[in-house]
Amino acid sequence: MKNNFISRPAFYALHVLFWLCYGAILYASLSNWINSSSEIWGAVISDVLTSSSIAYLNYYLLLPKLYKKGKYSGYIMASIAVVVTIVLLRVNLLGMTHRSVTYTYFIRSVPAFGFYLITTVIWFFANMISAQRNEIELRNSQLASELKFLKLQLSPHFLFNTLNNIYSMAYFKEDNTAAAIMKLSEMMRHMLYEDQGRFVSLAKEIKFMENFIELWRLKLDEKPTIEFSHQGVKDRHSIAHLIFLVFLENAFKHGNTMDGRIAIKLTINKEDVLHFYIRNDVLKARKTAEEESGVGLSNVKKRLNLIYPGKHELVLDQTTGSFEVNLNIDLK
């Protein structure tokens, strides 16, 4: 009978209203065959008091204190004792007799058993719903913790690699070092301050990708052909934060950047399904891209399964001289 969706005063008011309505229904039904007004009020008041007593005793005392703790025999004995006591109290002390003694006990037992069974059913349903809610909250908490752990693995990995690149540029006194540091600053701002939730604006994520590409352009002595295009992106579109980062890192770090080609395309159709495609040339002597990238691809697969369960499709295709990624995500 507890409710987490309304205030406590409103909760109590609903209970009072219920028993008032129950009493009114009893009064209307009894007035058809009892002429004395005092007898009617006596029957209504005694019925409401005894019925509410057994309902609250069963719900708040017997079920949680005995049944929930596994004391089943004690619960059965206590339930019988409560029902019998309340029926005897109503018949003998309140003088609620009618026709024969057998009929009197029967008619006075019906409300007691009725509210006992009703409150038992309500208690079981309430506990079942509460258990399901707790299970969902626990699962969501576990998912959030796992996602946070994966993100903590991802960001330092990217930062470590990028700082290594900039260190090399600074060591050899390259003119692009200052520009590279500025690009890294913009990217770190996106990584730290845009990540207030699980999702970020897709437009901002694309800007991050553009900065990433420009940072690698500054660092690379070789100048591979880099193509990056996007279309269909609207202000309403959002995406999991840094979900494309591993694919970008993999393409630049493990691809053939001497005379190769890197193609990146991001499109969104009318049904708000995002298609991300990235292809990079690889050296024939290298291991497969999945073996090269190790933890990175494994992490992004886990993130996709956690954030977009049943709403994404990831296909990795390794050929002799290239590696392709095709990722579809339903953004609805």
Single-letter amino acid code for the residue at 193? Y
* pLDDT over threshold 60, residue 3: no
* pLDDT over threshold 60, residue 298: yes
CB 105 within 8 A of CB 91: yes
| Architecture label for domain 174-330 | 2-Layer Sandwich (3.30)
Per-residue pLDDT reduced to its tens digit, 167-190:
777 777 777 778 778 877 777 776
Using alpha carbons, select from 267, 264, 265 the residue that is nearest to residue 232: 267
* pTM of structure: 0.52
- What value, to the nearest 5°, has the Cα angle with vertex 229 and ends 228 and 231? 160
Query: Residue 87 to residues 76, 96, 150, 165: CA-CA distances in angstroms?
Result: 17, 10, 62, 85
Per-residue pLDDT reduced to its tens digit, 241-287:
888 988 988 888 777 656 678 999 999 999 999 999 999 888 764 55
Mean pLDDT (whole number) for 43-51: 80
Q: What is the pLDDT of residue 251?
A: 85
Rounded CA Rg of the chain: 35
Q: What is the pLDDT of residue 139?
A: 66
Which stretches of the chain are assigned E, i.e. beta strand?
199-201, 225-231, 238-240, 261-268, 273-281, 312-318, 322-330
For 116-164, give the DSSP string: HHHHHHHHHHHHHHHHHHHHHHHHHHHHHHHHHHHHHHHHHHHHHHHHH
Q: What is the pLDDT of residue 272?
A: 93
